[in-house]
């Protein structure tokens, strides 16, 4: 289950990106979530995806 709370979601997504070495697009596909929806939700707490770091910062 994917966390609904944006702060918990941030931690969950960054952990998955780090541990599995996938890019955001692949991770969203594997989790069955819309990349746009995820980036908007994390953007609401002022976190944005950094392709260079492969995490939300």
Q: Note the pTM of the prediction, 2 decimals.
A: 0.92
**Residue 1 included in any domain:** no
What are 24-46's pLDDT values in tens digits?
A: 999 999 999 999 999 999 999 99
- The domain total for the chain is 1
**Residue 20 included in any domain:** yes
Residues 6+ apart with CB under 8 A from 55: 14, 17, 18, 49
User: Binning pLDDT at 50, 70 and 90, where does residue 47 land?
Assistant: very high
**Residue 25 included in any domain:** yes
How many whole angstroms separate alpha carbon 10 and alpha carbon 28?
Answer: 13
**Domain limits for position 31:** 6-56
How many whole angstroms separate alpha carbon 2 and alpha carbon 21?
Answer: 18
Residues 6+ apart with CB under 8 A from 41: 6, 9
């Amino acid at each position: 289950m994917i966390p609904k709370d944006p702060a918990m979601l941030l931690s969950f997504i960054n952990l998955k990106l780090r541990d599995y070495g996938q890019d955001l697009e692949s991770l969203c596909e594997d989790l069955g979530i819309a990349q746009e929806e995820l980036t908007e939700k994390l953007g609401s707490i002022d976190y944005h995806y950094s392709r260079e770091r492969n995490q939300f910062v």
